[in-house]
A and B are shown apart, each in its own frame.
Chain A
Amino acid sequence: MDAVFFAQLLFNGLAIGLIYALIAVGLALVYGVLRIVNFAHGEFLMLGAYAMALVTPVLGLLYLPSLAVAMAITALLGVVMFELLFARLKETDFERSILVTTGLSIILLHGVQWIFSASGRMVDTEFGFAGVEIGDIRITATRLAAGVVALGAFLALWLILTRTQFGRAMRAISQNREAALMVGIPPRKVARNAMMLACGLCGLAGAALAPVYLVQPIMGQALLFKAFALVIIGGLGHLQGAAIAAVILGVVESLAGGFLTIVWQEAIVFVAMILVLLLRPQGLFATRIRVG
């Protein structure tokens, strides 16, 4: 085995795995707090990528400010969607929530396609095609930046969830709703915050991916199904589980792409999901179903 080739695949896998993790964690967060499986979650990734594609040239912003603006836009859209749709769904409305979020997904996808066409867009940043060379390994700056941004986002998310009442309230509701009411946590406000945070993270992932991949309306769909698989592998509503599963998947997918036929690169996550569902239905990291 070529060690340089292996290391190159490993690094690429880590970077993309961290991005997958941002998407999956948002999905797990919304499920944990709202008990809604958000089938439109992938579209927030696509909206984040389009926001990046527009903000960078139109406002002339550099990479990081553009990411921040894209994240803010998707977080705000998340709040709007929550107030318009999600807040009207009850915990018991599982089937309704699937239909509503699937409908929202289709509307967002085709709305963007109608406005911007189905053609892909390239996003150019100040990094251009620059790369970082470590020995014989070359990593593109945009991929490296995406990984670093994702790591930073995770650190911030961990601090929010463990050190602030804003984040603790989300964990609280996902662990015990009745106890959350007992201590005076308003569920609707916390659900809105969770939606804002999840959509913001997903938008950030999309914005970070925009200079790496072609930006197109369909881009959120494929990643969403991978994110679902990751959330199931990690354990429904289990944030750390989803994040760890996502990073592992990124690496495995990258290695599979390098050493196996390309078909396996896309299939491997779903094979893993089916195996987990058969052997450990509660997920790899959950001690029980529905934890926060």
Chain B
Amino acid sequence: MPETALLELRDLRAGYTPDTAIVDGVSLTLSPGTVTTVVGGNGAGKSTLMKAIYGTVRHLGGEVRLRGEPIQHLPPWERLSRGIGLVPQGRCNFPEMSVEENLRLGAYRLTRSEAVRAIERVAAMFPVLRARWKTQAANLSGGEQQLLETAMVLETAPSLLLLDEPSLGLSPKMQAEIFATAASIARDTGLTVLMVEQNVRGALRVSDTAIVLEQGRKLMEGPAAEVARDPRIRQAYLGGGATAMGT
């Protein structure tokens, strides 16, 4: 394992039942401060891969190593404490609680003083949330809810942020903002981002590397620009037109 690797997957197998691996033998290395997009069609195992890294699906084999330490036996809350944060697909907040209460719960694993600092930090990072402090999460727009969920996970200052379809259901303008936010957080804080995204073009534009999954297996891996130029990827995910990187 390279000395600089933050996360390493070794022949990871995971799924929802003991006998069916949705993620089937994926190996992967993520370096600190990089943004990686996972590309793949429906049923390729992208979301399951994210859940397997966070520990919310059944581990069937292989290893998940964080900074060299095997963590595949740990429950999700222990993985969160060690620096892995997952923002799942779809709306994932507490709809009948205010933004403030959602952020307080985002700091669930922190001490009281750490929580105060963390809430201040993310509120400064996302001013729109401060403006909607007492609003119930259910009454926020889709984009605001996505920001809230990302803020809740960022409160624990993770080293690795897993974003599962962050642009789902958002307007094109909001999608671009979400991608730009993810990239700037990674650039400014050294956070490593692993992102699953249907908007492949937008995601690859802000990514350093990309991996392509097909039927639970890794088909391709490389710099995002190279993956975007690959004819098979262009044909399957980019509409066969100009590359995602605009080159």
Residues B81-105 near A (CB distance < 8 A): 81, 85-88, 92-97, 101, 104-105
Counting chain A CB atoms within 10 Å of each CB, which of B95, B149, B152 scores highest?
B95
A171 and B149 contacting across the interface, CB-CB below 8 Å: no
Instruction: Give the distance in Å from the alpha carbon of A9 to the alpha carbon of B201 in the complex.
Output: 70
Shortest Cβ gap from B24 to chain A (Å): 24
Counting chain B CB atoms within 10 Å of each CB, which of A171, A179, A291, A292 scores highest?
A179
A: contact size bracket:
10 to 19
- Assess whether B232 is interfacial by the CB under 8 Å rule: no
Q: Nearest chain-B residue to A169 (Cβ)?
A: B108
Residues A163-180 near B (CB distance < 8 A): 165, 168-169, 171-172, 175-176, 178-180
What 1/0 mask marks residues of chain A from 249 to 292 whose CB sits below 8 Å from any chain B CB? 00000000000000000000000000000000000000000011
Shortest Cβ gap from A204 to chain B (Å): 26
What 1/0 mask marks residues of chain B from 68 to 92 whose CB sits below 8 Å from any chain A CB? 0000000111001100011110001
What 1/0 mask marks residues of chain B from 142 to 175 whose CB sits below 8 Å from any chain A CB? 0000000100110010000000000000000000
Instruction: Give the distance in Å from the alpha carbon of A180 to the alpha carbon of B88 in the complex.
Output: 11
Q: Nearest chain-A residue to B79 (Cβ)?
A: A184
A182 and B88 contacting across the interface, CB-CB below 8 Å: yes
Residues of A within 8 A of B153 (CB): 182-183
What 1/0 mask marks residues of chain B from 206 to 232 whose CB sits below 8 Å from any chain A CB? 000000000000000000000000000
How many interface residues does B have (CB within 8 Å)? Answer: 26
Shortest Cβ gap from A164 to chain B (Å): 10
A172 and B88 contacting across the interface, CB-CB below 8 Å: no
B92 and A184 contacting across the interface, CB-CB below 8 Å: no
- Assess whether B27 is interfacial by the CB under 8 Å rule: no
A292 and B77 contacting across the interface, CB-CB below 8 Å: no
Q: Given the interface contacts A169-B105, A169-B108, does A179 sit within 8 Å of B94 by beta carbon?
A: yes
Shortest Cβ gap from B165 to chain A (Å): 13
Residues of B within 8 A of A185 (CB): 77, 105, 108
B152 and A182 contacting across the interface, CB-CB below 8 Å: yes
Residues of B within 8 A of A152 (CB): none
A184 and B108 contacting across the interface, CB-CB below 8 Å: yes
- Assess whether A186 is interfacial by the CB under 8 Å rule: yes
Residues of A within 8 A of B92 (CB): 176, 178-179, 182
Counting chain B CB atoms within 10 Å of each CB, which of A165, A168, A179, A182 scores highest?
A182
- Assess whether A181 is interfacial by the CB under 8 Å rule: yes
Q: Nearest chain-B residue to A165 (Cβ)?
A: B108
Shortest Cβ gap from B94 to chain A (Å): 5
Q: Given the interface contacts A181-B56, A183-B153, does A175 sit within 8 Å of B80 by beta carbon?
A: no
Interface residues in chain B, defined as those with a beta carbon under 8 Å from any beta carbon in chain A: 56, 75-77, 80-81, 85-88, 92-97, 101, 104-106, 108-109, 149, 152-153, 156
9 cross-chain CB contacts under 8 A: A171-B96, A175-B94, A179-B94, A179-B149, A180-B105, A182-B87, A183-B109, A184-B80, A184-B81
Interface residues in chain A, defined as those with a beta carbon under 8 Å from any beta carbon in chain B: 165, 168-169, 171-172, 175-176, 178-186, 291-292
